[in-house]
Structure 1
Amino acid sequence: MASFLAQGVDAALEATGMDAVDALRTFFLLAAATTISVSIPSSLRSRFLVYGPRATSTDSKPQSRASAEGASISRPLDYLATWRYFGPSNLLCRGTLFEAIASRVNEEHRVQTMSLTQVLVCWILLAMQGSRRLWESTSFAKPSTSKMWFVHWLLGLAFYLAAGIAIWIEGSEALMNFNLTLDYIKITRAPSLRTFLCVPLFLMASGMQHDCHHFLFSLKKYTLPDHPIFRAVVCPHYGAECVIYLSLAFLGAPRGQSVNKTLLACSAFVAVNLGLTARTTKQWYLEKFGGDKDDLEQIKSRWLMIPYIY
């Protein structure tokens, strides 16, 4: 099994002429570029990017909140998103998957490595995020008939697997050369300024996203959201997701770098994918709730995910 996995990684990297880090960055950027390309022609956008109630006629019966958010179709992906955060034994014990990928990182990327502390902090934060999303997927779920195109499923699987590797790939050198001792659980120095700023930013974005999800779940039927955050932004929970990944990109910056480029590429894909979904959601709002002149103007004035992005 180990040799088969290593051969598969070698074959993939040899075909691209890249090491594991560059291949991972390229995957995120190509996925983002492909999503943008498909979204430009309306004929492709309506067929391949729109799903859930946004793909149905606005004359249909009002959907439940779970349908509006596509909870039932995305719940399995949320499970996968959580599982990818709970593999510390494979990394800390330098398991088969870790060895197959980490040994394919070139010298340049090994020299500019994340510290072990950075890897563990990013890992813990993302594990918290994954646990919360898993809990929300089970607690905030309602029956739904929403469907997802199988390519969305495949892209979601590929993204979560790639993001799970991205969280440690630029710290592979530190992981390969450490010996686990009790010293690693001692708090011997104050957090860096980067940690002091990025960790609270991550936690605030995660808390805001949970508040948005709870509000949407509390709606008896899917009406135009009137929560204070939703009055200014169409999809603030999407904006929070972007901030979560961006904070990790800065928190996980390797030595001598201002940002973790692999996680930054991951953040770019998240921003593109959710940004296009937010734009579709705004159009859906206009069609479904824009019959009233005041509602129409109010919807038009809303930003997509964060202020100043329409």
Structure 2
Amino acid sequence: MSEPWHTPILVAIGSTLPAQWCQAFFIFLSSGVLAVAVTPTNARRHLLDYGARSSVTKTERPENNAHDDWFTKLIATLTAWGQVPHSWFRYFYTTSLACSFFWLAQYLTNGRLLEFLATKQAALSDTQSSMAPGQVVLVWTMMVLQASRRIYEHATFIKPSKSKMWCVHWLLGLSFYLCMSVSLWIEGSQSIMNRSLTIFDTRSYSIKTGGALLAYLFAWVNQYRCHKHLAGLKKYSLPEEGMFRYLICPHYTCECLLYLAMAIYGAPNGALFNKTLLCGLIFIVTNLGVTAAGTRKWYMDRFGEEAVKTRWSMIPFLF
């Protein structure tokens, strides 16, 4: 008698590491962003543009061809539904901070959810694939510092905006932070199971991790400077100070560098990167890269190609 059709699926699910589920989720999100990036131009504007970029008038937009008309109208109808305030971006960081402390509380109180995930991860992976105790603590601290600074920025100098964004954008960002908050804990399953988390762990320190820490601090400080400069600009003007002299979106550059530093610092022994955090970085690069390309186009339409032609969009010497 043959086995039920769903048995192999259940076996595959049961043998999949929690870290692999997180990795697959980040890649799924990245694929969705790339799918949006290759839609027809006018439809893509409805899907991606918000705030200043959404103020482009219809006369500035390229003509639709006959094939695009029905699709663009469909997308316009879908995106008109479920608009949320652009200021809801701040909930990304309050969610990130809340989740960081939730998982810390799970560790300190032997919470069942973290125990279940860590046990499954540890049982299906080898000891060498887990972060050392000090790595878990420091990467967790990096996440907390980033979320705390962004909350501070929104509370102090980022001006309230009346612009809207599609709720799908907001849910996409929220799901990223929810998944990222647990990813670093999963990758430290062996240390969690051994109840050995401590910052005083010599296995966590090397030239590589020292460089990652310096990169993180550089990006953390300069992203703050970029955001403060943007907040102080006259509405819809061209930023030209600091890193903006060389990049269209240096605050995105810093965001990528922050998570690259985490992926390097959180790499298990013998590995160059933490695979789960690297998959999270792939989503960040994809998502912000598409937005940076749109920002460049908006600047060119508004200020002329000469104003931005010498600047990289987001990644120096590459993009």
Give TM-score, length-normalised by structure 2. 0.81
Structure 2: any 5+ residue segments left out of the alignment?
Answer: 1-8, 59-84
CA distance in 2, matches of 1:187, 1:209: 29
Structure 1 partner of 2:315: 306
Deviation string for 1:252-286 (max 9, x for gaps)?
00123221000000001001100111110111111
**Does structure 1 residue 217 correspond to structure 2 residue 234?**
no
Match of 1:230, SS?
Answer: helix
CA distance in 2, matches of 1:265, 1:51: 26
Residues 147/16 of structure 1: CA separation in 2 closer, same or farther (3 Å cut): farther
CA distance in 1, matches of 2:11, 2:175: 16
Residues 217/14 of structure 1: CA separation in 2 closer, same or farther (3 Å cut): same
Q: How does 1:269-280 map to 2 (within 5 A)?
A: 269-280=283-294
Match of 1:97 among 113, 122, 135: 113
Deviation string for 1:164-207 (max 9, x for gaps)?
01122111121111257xxx465778932222111111001110
Structure 1 partner of 2:67: none
**Does structure 1 residue 237 correspond to structure 2 residue 251?**
yes
The more displaced of 12-21 and 246-255 is 12-21
Report the Cα offset of residue 20 of structure 1: 0.9
Report the Cα offset of residue 239 of structure 1: 0.3
Structure 2 partner of 1:135: 152
Deviation string for 1:207-244 (max 9, x for gaps)?
01001011111113331111132121000000000000
Structure 2 partner of 1:65: none
Match of 2:165, SS?
Answer: coil
CA distance in 2, matches of 1:39, 1:13: 35
Structure 1 partner of 2:140: 123
Match of 2:31 among 15, 29, 33: 33
CA distance in 2, matches of 1:258, 1:23: 21
Report the Cα offset of residue 110 of structure 1: 4.9
Aligned residues between the structures: 283
Report the Cα offset of residue 134 of structure 1: 0.7
Residues 278/13 of structure 1: CA separation in 2 closer, same or farther (3 Å cut): farther
Structure 2 partner of 1:3: none
Match of 1:114, SS?
Answer: coil
Structure 1 partner of 2:171: 154
CA distance in 2, matches of 1:113, 1:190: 12
CA distance in 2, matches of 1:191, 1:289: 47
CA distance in 2, matches of 1:186, 1:20: 27
Cα contact 1:24–1:262 (8 A) shared by 2:
yes
CA distance in 1, matches of 2:188, 2:269: 10
CA distance in 1, matches of 2:248, 2:295: 8
Amino acid aligned to 2:105: S
**Does structure 1 residue 51 correspond to structure 2 residue 60?**
no
The more displaced of 264-273 and 93-102 is 93-102
CA distance in 2, matches of 1:39, 1:51: 15
Residues 133/16 of structure 1: CA separation in 2 closer, same or farther (3 Å cut): farther
Q: How does 1:251-262 map to 2 (within 5 A)?
A: 251-262=265-276
Report the Cα offset of residue 56 of structure 1: 2.2
Report the Cα offset of residue 77 of structure 1: 1.7
Structure 1 partner of 2:96: 81
CA distance in 1, matches of 2:258, 2:11: 29
Amino acid aligned to 2:114: F
Aligned-pair Cα RMSD in Å? 2.6
Amino acid aligned to 2:90: R
**Does structure 1 residue 264 correspond to structure 2 residue 273?**
no
User: What is the percentage of aligned positions where both structures have the same residue?
Assistant: 38
CA distance in 1, matches of 2:177, 2:133: 22
Q: How does 1:167-178 map to 2 (within 5 A)?
A: 167-178=184-195
